[in-house]
């Protein structure tokens, strides 16, 4: 049996990060950095729809239909390659820069079966993103921590730990100040920080 040799581990940086996934942005980390959602499928949808109509107009079994079907398959393949290339580069840089990556289990496999999540999640590439992060952390000697999907990362104030359930119900609230300690928060960055805090806490409780 052949075994694949693992690449040498990346150097330790002494840094940890928490991630918050989204639709407007692919992810925001606990340092406040935003990773763009390129929406490759949405940008190519007009071309793909035109190619789909072309396939449907061609007689079944004809050479022209096969040519149209091949062109459609190439368009989908192009979108896939664009997304894969972006996610590969992003996750490699992330694993190189941080020793510990903490993410919240968003129960993506359940969400992707529901509309409109299926299209949005497929376009954003959350599932691929988390898979790449998980195995690259293993490859390069870094730590991948996944916290429970029920953890209220949005509802907690990362500055002091107090909770406001209304934040989960009203997604239009993007910025606020904690009424207890006065610290100002941005929704995605605050959730990413809470994910990091909970992920590191889970290590100490093991």
Please provide the DSSP assignment of 57-90 as one string: HSPTT-HHHHHHHHHHHHHHHHHHHHHHHHHHHH
C-alpha radius of gyration, the chain, whole number: 21
**DSSP code for 179:** T
Instruction: Enumerate residues 6+ apart whose C-beta is below 8 A from 162.
Output: 156, 178, 180, 181
Express each pLDDT in 94-105 by its tens digit: 999 999 999 988
Express each pLDDT in 147-202 by its tens digit: 988 888 888 878 877 777 777 777 777 777 777 777 777 888 888 999 999 999 98
**DSSP code for 4:** P
pLDDT at residue 110, as a whole number: 58
Average pLDDT (88-98) is 95
Is the pLDDT at 112 greater than 90? The verdict is no
Give phi and psi for 184, each to the nearest 5. -90, 140
* Contact (Cβ atoms closer than 8 angstroms) between residue 27 and residue 21: yes
Enumerate the domain spans of the chain.
16-27+37-204
Reported as a pLDDT band with limits 50, 70 and 90, residue 1 is very low
pTM as predicted: 0.82
**DSSP code for 39:** -
Q: 107 or 171: whose pLDDT is higher?
A: 171
């Amino acid at each position: 049996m052949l075994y694949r040799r693992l690449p040498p581990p990346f150097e330790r940086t002494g840094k940890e990060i928490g991630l918050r996934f989204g639709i407007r942005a692919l992810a925001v980390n606990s340092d406040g950095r935003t990773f763009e959602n390129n929406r490759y499928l949405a940008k190519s949808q007009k071309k793909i729809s035109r190619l789909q109509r072309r396939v449907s107009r061609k007689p079944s079994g004809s050479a022209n239909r096969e040519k149209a079907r091949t062109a459609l398959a190439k368009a989908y393949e192009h979108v896939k390659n664009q997304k894969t290339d972006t996610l590969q580069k992003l996750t490699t840089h992330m694993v190189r820069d941080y020793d510990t990556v903490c993410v919240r289990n968003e129960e993506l496999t359940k969400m992707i079966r529901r509309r409109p999540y299926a299209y949005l999640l497929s376009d954003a590439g959350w599932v691929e993103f988390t898979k790449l992060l998980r195995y690259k952390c293993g490859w390069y000697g870094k730590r991948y921590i996944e916290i429970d999907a029920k953890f209220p990362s949005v509802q907690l104030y990362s500055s002091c730990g107090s909770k406001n359930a209304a934040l989960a119900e009203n997604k239009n609230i993007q910025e606020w100040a904690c009424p207890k300690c006065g610290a100002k928060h941005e929704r995605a960055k605050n959730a990413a920080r809470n994910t990091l805090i909970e992920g590191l806490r889970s290590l100490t409780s093991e």
